């Protein structure tokens, strides 16, 4: 399948490329960036390669997935965002991960909104969720800015973490207007 490219005011959401590995390896090696992801530990280069391949494969299997985020002004890869729904997941998720130097500039919110629009307008989703660690206040704020509200806490089994971890499920329904998600 061909992975679409989406442009927002300041970002290009595009397919992952092999040339992105160095940039993502640097991001995923940052302990602060990874603190609320999986088991909270940074990833090595080989694991980052497999993660990028996993995201590309998700597009092939599901018809949607995560994009690499490039800042329009610089062309720099600054993170990833998009849709995620592997087998056994609690629902169609919109998620994001940004380089720490880009936190606090609204890029996660901008990418999440574009991903949410794609989920409703192209994928045809009726509901989209975000799976967020309770302590990840930055991501909770992004979820709220895109119109998501807290739904429940679940114990989630993931391959990266031995045993279930408790996470918060935030979500938004298709019926919530775009204006309310802005």
Q: What is the pLDDT of residues 47-83, one digit of tens each?
A: 999 999 999 999 999 999 999 999 999 999 999 999 9
Give the pLDDT confidence score for residue 165 in this predicted structure.
85
Interval 22-43 mean pLDDT = 94
Q: Does 6-127 carry CATH code 3.40.630.30?
A: yes
Query: Whole-angstrom Cα distance, residue 182 to residue 180?
Result: 6
Pairing mode of beta strands 66-71, 93-98: unpaired
Element spanning 118, H or E:
helix 107-118
pLDDT-derived band at 1, boundaries 50, 70, 90: confident
Give the pLDDT confidence score for residue 110 in this predicted structure.
98
Q: Where are the domains of the chain?
A: 6-127
Query: Whole-angstrom Cα distance, residue 98 to residue 96?
Result: 7
The mean pLDDT value of the chain amounts to 94
Q: Are 11 and 111 in contact (CB under 8 A)?
A: yes
Interval 6-28 mean pLDDT = 98
pLDDT-derived band at 160, boundaries 50, 70, 90: low
Residues 112-154 have pLDDT tens digits of 999 999 999 999 999 999 999 999 999 999 999 999 999 999 9
Q: What is the rounded end-to-end Cα distance, in angstroms, of the chain?
A: 30
Give the pLDDT confidence score for residue 179 in this predicted structure.
62
Whose tokens are 């380089």? That residue is 99
By C-alpha distance, which of 112, 107, 117, 138 is closest to 37?
Answer: 138
pTM for the model stands at 0.94
pLDDT-derived band at 172, boundaries 50, 70, 90: very high
């Amino acid at each position: 399948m061909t992975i679409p490219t989406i442009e927002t005011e300041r970002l290009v959401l595009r397919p992952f490329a092999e040339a992105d590995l160095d940039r993502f390896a640097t991001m995923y090696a940052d302990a602060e960036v990874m603190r609320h992801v999986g088991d909270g530990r940074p990833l090595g280069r080989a694991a980052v390669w497999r993660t990028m391949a996993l995201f590309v494969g998700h597009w092939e299997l599901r018809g949607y997935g995560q994009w690499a985020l490039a800042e329009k002004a610089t062309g720099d890869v600054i993170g990833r965002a998009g849709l995620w729904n592997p087998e056994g997941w609690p629902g169609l998720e919109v998620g994001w991960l940004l380089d720490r130097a880009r936190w606090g500039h609204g890029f996660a919110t901008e990418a999440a909104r574009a991903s949410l629009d794609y989920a409703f307008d192209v994928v045809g989703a009726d509901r989209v969720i975000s799976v967020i660690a309770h302590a990840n206040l930055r991501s909770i704020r992004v979820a709220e800015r895109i119109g998501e509200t807290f739904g429940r806490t679940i114990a989630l089994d993931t391959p990266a973490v031995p045993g279930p971890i408790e996470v918060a499920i935030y979500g938004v329904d298709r019926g919530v207007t775009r204006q309310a998600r802005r």
